Amino acid sequence: MNHPRERGVDASHHYEMDAELGALVLRLSGVLRAAELARTLDELMEDPHVDATGPLLVELTGVTEFQVSSDDMGMLARTPFAQARAEADAPTVIVGDSDLAFGLARMYQVRSGREEGRIRVCRSELEAREWLKSMGSD
């Protein structure tokens, strides 16, 4: 199968494997709630078509409302999905184009306890893609 696998998780979460980028792309839109996102991450761990330890791009530009706190960012950083990524030292990039999205993504980055060189927050998807491509040449 050469085409990316797509699967709608719910109205506000969508993920696909981007073959060109060689990464899992998780797009979030609408109202972002921590409990729903945690369930999505659990589902990603269970999906046999998803490599939870490979490169990841998380796109927050479609989120219209954030119903998450700094404590939620810590909880999300401790999910089995996040822990598997940390143990594998998998590159992760989060795109937040608004100040709020960027700030929450930075909170996640800090709460994850991972080195900045392996997890990054960007303002645009183009910048995120370029960073992930550069990580592939390590």
pLDDT of 116 higher than 90: no
Instruction: Encode pLDDT of 79-114 as tens digits.
Output: 999 999 999 999 999 999 999 999 999 999 999 988
Q: State the CATH architecture for 6-135.
A: 2-Layer Sandwich (3.30)
62-87 confidence digits (pLDDT tens): 999 999 999 999 999 999 999 999 99
Report yes or no: 41 and 28 within 8 Å, Cβ to Cβ.
no
How is the chain split into domains, by residue range?
A: 6-135
Confidence (pLDDT) at 13: 85
Would the pTM count as exceeding 0.85? yes
Give the pLDDT confidence of 7-41 residue by residue, as tens digits: 433 347 889 999 999 999 999 999 999 999 999 99
